[in-house]
Structure 1
């Protein structure tokens, strides 16, 4: 099969030269773009209908220049960071290219092979003009509760056509006028049409607010000054990342792991990653993986790009909000027709499972080169649960879904954080129990940090979470858990943490574990126990500070039995 080299950013055109831009003005432009992106984010949150958007923040917002290079992104869903550029390009191509655009256009795009996601992750793109000249794009990509797939959330699809209705770049608004045929098609292909339309209108409002803010920044500084500042901004991001990699020894860094299952065959899926560092250039090689698999864990190229970008930003981004320049030093190797570069119509609903695994494996591979910067493994998954049904009293359809937090890996500098979202969703939020209980037919009977779950070590892994949901009405659940077999690895002598697990306790006293399972019937009275994974430890447990062990005992993070087994020197 063909090996494909993806270069993230073409050379920036010379528009007067970034070196000529005033550094103070450049910083004003950069911070203005970040503030405008946050404005777009807030507009969406305040108008969205679904908790998956306004509570969990399962979306991303960003600006792109006219060459479709990322100007700025608000802190939202990092996993979408590398995919929105693909969405913008494919959406614009779908309506005929930049020459077919006009002020007031809003383009809808959700083809999984262009978004890198399942069809529920839909993109809205608004072109931005200044004095009739195209200067950029405002874009939002957000999760809709349902868009006509075989189920509202799927773990067992066999091709992409089972996964939802696809809009391959169509104008929802044409020069400011609603295209009613497209609007009606969306309504006709959703089980929760009222909520989806509410979220779509919120996305339109958000992208329009962002487009106005971007246009105002361009108008304030003038097109030429703005472009020179953007060129300097990109150059700064590139220099920052190149400096980080220049400090590493040149060489090839490798790591390998195993994905539990593809959701259909039940077979484990091994894969490896190689990171090649040469001077200030880095190449991520994901060709050491199986061919595309029968189940829906194939990861389309845009999300493979996003995984590589996210790993590099985590290590070398210095905590800055990224722009396109940060990714110029990065190249990606994939193999067309493989797990990380599938071809249509391979199913890809659970694309995030291999993407998330690859993120941590890329980071792990560099532990030899930068041991002071690489943490042990986390729980390694977002533990997606999606629930739906019809309300008992009214028959009205309802649905909800959320990611759930895991323990983070310990590092050379300290214990891992407890119960935070996995890196790919690190800016998302954990829905409050009060919101869940007010909206859905559940009762939360347990929500607590899990004692003894963190991997022992000189520095302890972060704790996972124990959650128990009691069903107050009949309903359905799709469980999409990964890393249920693989224990989160420790580093430098640290011990592993616990894997993820979901158990349903039925009213008749029976129980069953589920990892990837679609449409699990939950009768009234059933209890769903979710045990999210923890972080691995760092360093030998016998080197842990005795006072830290005693503090963990006082706080209830570990039990006395656990302390006697792993930290007897502290007792």
Structure 2
């Protein structure tokens, strides 16, 4: 059913739906984090929770490969009108620090879940030891604010006021938090209506088939980019800021191996988890979106027409030893993980720039010299 023309039509519908969700959230949010800095995401997901469409005009760009499947599975008995949420970095590994509250909503057609709408907003404050809940000096997750494991926030269209009351009691700016969360629920509702319109246009079976085809197409595009690269192994290391006055800079190391249309990103040799909040909670997920942000940029640089969805992650496998800065164990603090993620992107650029030096930029300057990088051609 889905030839290239029809698939592009569906992709356009899906992206337009995601853009509508983003504008709904942006226009109705309360906080500067959402309205001014656009620290939010929205997305459409397939039945398993894999992202198949994101906006390009508004919001953060880190999440096209995000999958909610683990968090979705931690909540039972979804019904029409339900919305689940979490902000716990150690439950479901969707949220990656406590201020990021992720919500997801099932989209039912004829009594069956055909897709999900989802997204996150960065709350102004989630309580904890310091205003805004973020400080490099914090040493454990318990200091970074109240956390909610995956649970229902809205039941058949009705907010759970007990949860809202608990949140309001524990945060410094409850009106901003609750306002932004309700704005995100509105965005999810917008996405739900758009998905139902797509189902009406393509049919339920056709829509489900088309979404799967979108993910497969992005995977094929990513594999085509990898096949155009030489096989081999490349290493690159760089350093993030030290996590305290007396500490050393945090070392991030990557061994990149490309073979055919697959790639392995082995972060063995990166520093152990830190005593500060610079850790990145990937949960050991071999395709965690935080680990692959730099890869998305590489792929998009080499093919600006590539579809941004979770299919891009399939050809890549990340190795992050447990207890390392990129796979910390509870109760490691993670609030400032974005600082480490910024350097992580540079490490990925540094490795891939050796693969295609004539087409890809080198890693950004950090003030530290990188280690000598051996290149082994296969």
Tell me the TM-score normalised to structure 2 length: 0.90
Contact preservation (8 Å) 1:91, 1:125? no
Consecutive aligned runs of 4 or more in structure 1 exceeding 4 Å deviation: none
Q: 1:486: how far off?
A: 3.5
CA gap of 1:74–1:129, structure 2 versus 1, over 3 A, is same
Higher relative CO (Cα under 8 Å, sequence separation at least 6) belongs to 2
Query: Aligned to 1:101, which of 73, 78, 81?
Result: 78
Query: Aligned to 2:206, which of 217, 221, 225?
Result: 225
Structure 2 unaligned spans of 5+: 372-378
Contact preservation (8 Å) 2:349, 2:362? no
Distance 2:326 2:128 in 1: 23
Query: Aligned to 2:347, which of 361, 365, 384?
Result: 361
Contact preservation (8 Å) 1:264, 1:294? no
Contact preservation (8 Å) 1:315, 1:373? no
Contact preservation (8 Å) 2:266, 2:318? yes
Which structure has the larger Rg? 1
Distance 1:235 1:367 in 2: 27
What value does the CA root-mean-square deviation take over the aligned residues? 2.0
CA gap of 1:34–1:22, structure 2 versus 1, over 3 A, is same
Higher mean C-alpha displacement, 203-212 vs 367-376: 367-376
Query: Aligned to 2:170, which of 160, 173, 189?
Result: 189
Q: 1:106: how far off?
A: 1.1
Alignment of 1:148-547 (within 5 A): 148-151=127-130, 152=132, 153-263=134-244, 266-301=247-282, 305-317=288-300, 318-319=303-304, 320-378=306-364, 485-486=367-368
Distance 2:251 2:280 in 1: 15
1:37 aligns with 2:23: no
Distance 1:308 1:271 in 2: 12
Contact preservation (8 Å) 2:227, 2:260? yes
Contact preservation (8 Å) 2:229, 2:355? yes
Q: 1:135: how far off?
A: 0.7
Q: 1:323: how far off?
A: 1.4
Distance 2:181 2:204 in 1: 31
Q: 1:89: how far off?
A: 2.7
Contact preservation (8 Å) 1:308, 1:362? no
Distance 2:260 2:211 in 1: 25
What per-residue deviation string (whole Å, max 9, x for no partner) do you get for residues 257-282 of structure 1? 12221247532222310110001111
Distance 2:169 2:189 in 1: 25
1:89 corresponds in structure 2 to: 69
Contact preservation (8 Å) 1:121, 1:143? yes
Q: 1:229: how far off?
A: 1.8
What per-residue deviation string (whole Å, max 9, x for no partner) do you get for residues 288-332 of structure 1? 112211111111116982244222221223223411222211111
